[in-house]
A and B are shown apart, each in its own frame.
Chain A
Amino acid sequence: MAFCDFKLHKPESVTEACRLGREFGRTCAYMSGGTELLVDLRSGRKKVAHVIALGGLKELREIRRDGDTLHIGAQATLSEIAEAPLVHEVFPALAEAIVTMAGVQIRNLATMGGNFSCGVPCSDTPPITCAAGGSIVVAGPDGEREVAARDFVLAPRTTVLNPGDIVTAIRIPVQPTTSGASFQRFTMRRGSALAVASVSAWLNVEQGVITAARVVMGAVGPIPLFAENCAASVVGQAPGDSVFADAGALAAAEAQPISDLRGSEQYRRDVVAVLARRALACAAARAEGRTS
């Protein structure tokens, strides 16, 4: 097909990948699983002369523990991440988020590196990573840097990545035992659907009181949105239905949804209220060890 009119490069090192990316600039695209890129190339949203495939960089596929951080290589597939015992041990809500995404075939190819790099508002792993206080490791022609997940996406399909930058890893701090997190997403059907809205919640609960909270909304704003008022409203409170219901209403007010094929603005806000309440309740139960 015509959209395959590009030159494919298979760099064998991160340095080479970065060099090629800088050399070709806007005329190239990196490819990990290709599950977003190929769709964009075929639809004509993206046109490039060079595709730089990162699949050969096996060292970026590792999932390991580095002291007090969970390190997920940017090339690990979503399936590998969801099945990794380490992920379930350190931050199960990430696995919970991933298994709701797409379908098995897509998850067997797609990566978290690609999910972040495309900067799409309905990407599912950025909000939950933000809720966990995670960060992104970026390798560029001038070396490596680490960017907080919440600072990574700047606008729809725009990230902090410059030409020649690649994501090499996602890093998630090992969570305190008094914390819990939950990912709640709403879709129009179960198989292969994009989020109408998602809410990721993270709570720390000590002696029956919420001491810290992060609530991040997906697909209802240009970038993953922190529901600051919602989160602030539960801090200092004991977990409870009415606290979370009120907090859900605050999240709905903080959302910035648009009306599109997947739902009207108003409906999306109402769904956010429901999802935020459910996510907070579930995160609290996990923080208090009432459920896994």
Chain B
Amino acid sequence: MSTLKDGRMAPHESPAAGRRSVGVDVPKSDGEKLVRGRPVFTDDVLPSGCLFAKVLRSPHAHARIVALDASRALADPEVVAVLWHPDVPQIPHTRAGQSHPEPSPWDTTILPTKARFVGDRVAVVAAETLAAAERALELIDVEYEVLPAIHDPAAALDADAPMIHEVPDPRGIAKGGESNLAAMIDVQIGDVDTALAACDHVIERTYVLPRVQASHIEPHVSVSWIDEDDRLVVRTSTQVPFHLRRILARILETSESRIRVIKPRVGGGFGDKQEMVCEDLVAVLTLRTGRPVRLEFTREEELIAARFRHPQTITMTTGVMNDGTLVANRMVVLADTGAYGSHALTVQANTGQKVLPLYPLKHIHYHVDSVYTNNPISGAFRGYGAPQGFFALESQMDEVAAVIGMDPLELRRKNHIRLGDVDPVSARLNEGKEGLARTVNSSSLEECIRRGAEAIGWGATPAPTHPRFKRGLGVGVAMQGSGIAGVDWAAATVKLNEDGSVNLLVGATDIGQGSDTVLSQICAEELGVPYEKIIILSSDTDLTPFDVGAYASSTTYVSGGAVAKAAADLKNQLLTIMAEHWQVNLEDVRFVDGVCMGPRDLSLDMGGVAHTALYTAKVQPAATASHMSDDSPPPFSAQFADVEVDTETGQVFVRRFVSACDFGTVIHPKLAEGQVDGAVAQGLGYALCEEVLVDDEGRVRNPNFLDYKIFTAMDMPLMEVIMLETEEPSGPYGVKAAGEVVINGPAPAVVNAIAAATGVRIRHIPATPERVWRAMHEC
């Protein structure tokens, strides 16, 4: 039936000539210890005498916490502490883990005086056992003053809407915190109204995007203790150890020197751990009790009180000429940031910034209202606003193509951004502010579209496998960035040992995606030593240099740049040492495949060089380098879905899925392909079955994996990944990024395929069987 190979990846050009590590599927640096089940995760080893924490959560969506009596709970000798808002500093901050100064509003305190969603923190308990902590929750008496609540974001800005945040110092909240508007963006490029008036066709549609969760396997978990020097140590499953240290220092009224944050292995994050979710609570309990404390979320807590992709309603208007020339685009976004404003501005900035440049029009109007509601808290999630925006844009492109009678692929080919084009949006919109202009200096997007279309068989839809099915093909094209231009930066330290091995210390956070492996490859390549010689450590604020953390598709591009620089510096130090040692000119010394060569037949392997440095020259060859980029080169993808729709039930089956990708140079083909597999699985769940349902009172109705339906292995289609590498001039070894771009295409590709199959356009995802079936019966 299908011509797709099960061998998965399209032939990958073997590593560029002369490369030993970059471009090679080396063993994952932490693979063995993970497979052997060694105690590597936060919760695997607890300090002796560790207390167990549990959070008492609000049953009300909006209620003042008037009084709390914990005496019944504390009567249990196993219950050690119960804290509520009077017991902790009330310093406004954001829990979003972003660079200083954080662009998210400071609307949060450790324990609030007012609960703002069902599940908000009311109190936190520490007890000798988990069972005692759980029992204690039922014995705490709380007096609430219940307030009217808002769950519909469209009603949040009504004049009579109850105020969710009355903050005395509303730093970062839009318009000084006078309404429930958490963040607002309005960017106009050209003149959209005039341009639309002159277009042959104007198409306006509204798209509705659900609240979904990252569903990382390892939940949020943190352990803290006081060390022998009276410093606070927090070992935690996080993407942002350095931001955490900074935020903790401020809200605990201490300084960074008193805090050490350790990130061990992490079982997935996807943005949900770019946030302080448990760390401040274990910290205040440890400081109060002097004892180690551990807090781990249950899956129910993840689906109630972790973070979610912002639900958005997007109204998009496109002006187009009869020949398919796109002229103007207006995108109006209403986003539900939930009870707090974590990433309220920047996710929504990204929706416009990442999405609108794909078709670089002269006339663009981008408007966002990001509003507070008494719903669960939205935040960072892989793609960071772009999946919502690309769903609207790439759905609309098919609707535009239908109106003008053009092949949807042709319309995209005619208008998409090309090599050398200037992205019209970046300079106007970066992290919600003015940014740096961006030119496309590497792109195989045209080739991605061509090769992807070929692989799926565009124009030759396969026959349905049963008469009751209708079959269709759909496409979703996307781009993203590689780090946040001018903001994200990283440092790396390298240090040579006697046997020629190299310690590589990075603040970059491996959260399972494999950055330790990729950074080790870059280091090995730069030094010309075998990959096995690199001993990587990530991340520990006492031991490793600074890094903003794992987010914004930044690690390979930004942190990789720091590693390459540090390794190059180390190499230069070694050349100097050897030139002196051999008493020869520096220009005559070089490294060939990790061996130091001098004039005549002088040569020494890396171990010998290290010995010379350490025992003859008596210096420690070591280097630290920092790296920041003013650019954020876009990776591209063209993704294609082949779906069948059961006309009797509305059920959608994805049969095949092709992703053609430009990630720049691919450092580790298998890991890059893994990024595609994972993103497609999450993207298909977004398209077809994932939705956190919140009832009229603000309670999550499906806080478990039976009722919150992620895509399972059994639901996955036949996959093909086509890597079309480019050489990005600003990236180490020509890299861009792979982590996020490919989560953007699946949802629009699937709904476009459903439309091709059935003529029915789904503008509200997930496209559950019932939704598709209703839509089919309405038309």
Does A188 lie within 8 Å of B768, measured CB to CB? yes
The reply to whether the CB of A229 lies closer than 8 angstroms to some CB of chain B is no
Q: Which of B688, B711, B769 has the most CB of A within 10 A?
A: B769
Known contacts: A2-B135, A261-B693. The answer to whether A186 contacts B649 by CB under 8 A is yes
The reply to whether the CB of B130 lies closer than 8 angstroms to some CB of chain A is yes
The reply to whether the CB of A267 lies closer than 8 angstroms to some CB of chain B is yes
Q: Which of B134, B701, B712, B773 contacts A190 (CB 8 A)?
A: B712
> CB-nearest residue of chain B relative to A102?
B706
Interface residues of B in 744-774 (CB under 8 A from A): 768-770, 773-774
Does B714 lie within 8 Å of A190, measured CB to CB? yes
Query: How far is B706's CA from A2's CA once the two chains are assembled, in angstroms?
Result: 22
Complex contacts, B651 vs chain A, CB 8 Å: 186
Does A189 lie within 8 Å of B711, measured CB to CB? yes
Interface residues of B in 700-721 (CB under 8 A from A): 701-702, 705-707, 709, 711-715
Query: How far is B131's CA from A148's CA once the two chains are assembled, in angstroms?
Result: 43
The reply to whether the CB of B648 lies closer than 8 angstroms to some CB of chain A is yes
Does A261 lie within 8 Å of B713, measured CB to CB? no
Does B770 lie within 8 Å of A267, measured CB to CB? yes
Known contacts: A189-B689, A189-B709, A271-B649. The answer to whether A261 contacts B702 by CB under 8 A is yes
B127 to chain A, nearest CB (A): 11
Does A1 lie within 8 Å of B131, measured CB to CB? yes
Does B649 lie within 8 Å of A5, measured CB to CB? no
The reply to whether the CB of A103 lies closer than 8 angstroms to some CB of chain B is yes
Q: Which of B707, B714, B715 contacts A261 (CB 8 A)?
A: B707
B343 to chain A, nearest CB (A): 28
Query: How far is B560's CA from A280's CA once the two chains are assembled, in angstroms?
Result: 62
> CB-nearest residue of chain A relative to B646?
A274
A157 to chain B, nearest CB (A): 16
Does B712 lie within 8 Å of A191, measured CB to CB? yes
How many A-B residue pairs have C-beta atoms within 8 angstroms? Tell me.
51
Known contacts: A189-B711, A191-B714, A274-B649. The answer to whether A264 contacts B770 by CB under 8 A is yes
Does B712 lie within 8 Å of A188, measured CB to CB? no
The reply to whether the CB of A97 lies closer than 8 angstroms to some CB of chain B is no
Does A103 lie within 8 Å of B773, measured CB to CB? no
Give a binary string over B297-341; 1 marks a CB under 8 Å from any A CB, 0 the rest.
Answer: 000000000000000000000000000000000000000000000
Complex contacts, B769 vs chain A, CB 8 Å: 186, 188, 196
A266 to chain B, nearest CB (A): 9
The reply to whether the CB of A96 lies closer than 8 angstroms to some CB of chain B is no
Q: Which of B134, B711, B774 contacts A2 (CB 8 A)?
A: B134
Interface size on B, residues (CB 8 A): 26
Complex contacts, B649 vs chain A, CB 8 Å: 186, 271, 274
The reply to whether the CB of A192 lies closer than 8 angstroms to some CB of chain B is yes
> CB-nearest residue of chain B relative to A191?
B712
Q: Which of A193, A263, A270, A274 contacts B709 (CB 8 A)?
A: A193
Complex contacts, B693 vs chain A, CB 8 Å: 261
Query: How far is B651's CA from A189's CA once the two chains are assembled, in angstroms?
Result: 9
Complex contacts, A284 vs chain B, CB 8 Å: none
The reply to whether the CB of A225 lies closer than 8 angstroms to some CB of chain B is no
Complex contacts, A196 vs chain B, CB 8 Å: 769
Query: How far is B649's CA from A263's CA once the two chains are assembled, in angstroms?
Result: 12
Q: Which of A1, A2, A189, A263 contacts B715 (CB 8 A)?
A: A189
Complex contacts, A193 vs chain B, CB 8 Å: 706, 709
Known contacts: A189-B715, A264-B770. The answer to whether A2 contacts B130 by CB under 8 A is yes
Give a binary string over B106-131; 1 marks a CB under 8 Å from any A CB, 0 the rest.
Answer: 00000000000000000000000011
Q: Which of B648, B688, B705 has the most CB of A within 10 A?
A: B648
Query: How far is B712's CA from A261's CA once the two chains are assembled, in angstroms?
Result: 19
Q: Which of B135, B693, B709 has the most CB of A within 10 A?
A: B709
Interface residues of A in 176-204 (CB under 8 A from B): 186, 188-194, 196
Complex contacts, B713 vs chain A, CB 8 Å: 191
> CB-nearest residue of chain B relative to A192?
B712
Interface residues of A in 57-104 (CB under 8 A from B): 103
> CB-nearest residue of chain B relative to A39?
B706
Complex contacts, A267 vs chain B, CB 8 Å: 770, 773-774
A263 to chain B, nearest CB (A): 6
Does B770 lie within 8 Å of A263, measured CB to CB? yes
Complex contacts, B134 vs chain A, CB 8 Å: 1-2
Query: How far is B449's CA from A123's CA once the two chains are assembled, in angstroms?
Result: 46
Does B131 lie within 8 Å of A191, measured CB to CB? no
Query: How far is B716's CA from A189's CA once the two chains are assembled, in angstroms?
Result: 10
Does A189 lie within 8 Å of B707, measured CB to CB? no
Query: B-contacting residues of A (Cβ < 8 Å)?
Result: 1-2, 5, 103, 186, 188-194, 196, 261, 263-264, 267, 270-271, 274
26 A-B residue pairs with CB within 8 Å: A1-B130, A1-B134, A2-B131, A2-B135, A5-B131, A103-B714, A186-B651, A186-B769, A188-B709, A188-B768, A189-B709, A190-B712, A190-B714, A190-B715, A191-B712, A191-B715, A192-B705, A193-B709, A261-B693, A261-B701, A261-B702, A261-B707, A267-B770, A267-B773, A267-B774, A274-B649
7 tightest Cβ-Cβ pairs between the two chains A and B = A191-B712, A191-B714, A2-B131, A190-B714, A274-B648, A2-B134, A267-B770
5 A-B pairs besides A186-B651, A189-B709, A191-B715 with CB distance below 8 A are A1-B131, A2-B130, A103-B712, A188-B768, A191-B714
Query: A-contacting residues of B (Cβ < 8 Å)?
Result: 130-131, 134-135, 648-649, 651, 688-689, 693, 701-702, 705-707, 709, 711-715, 768-770, 773-774
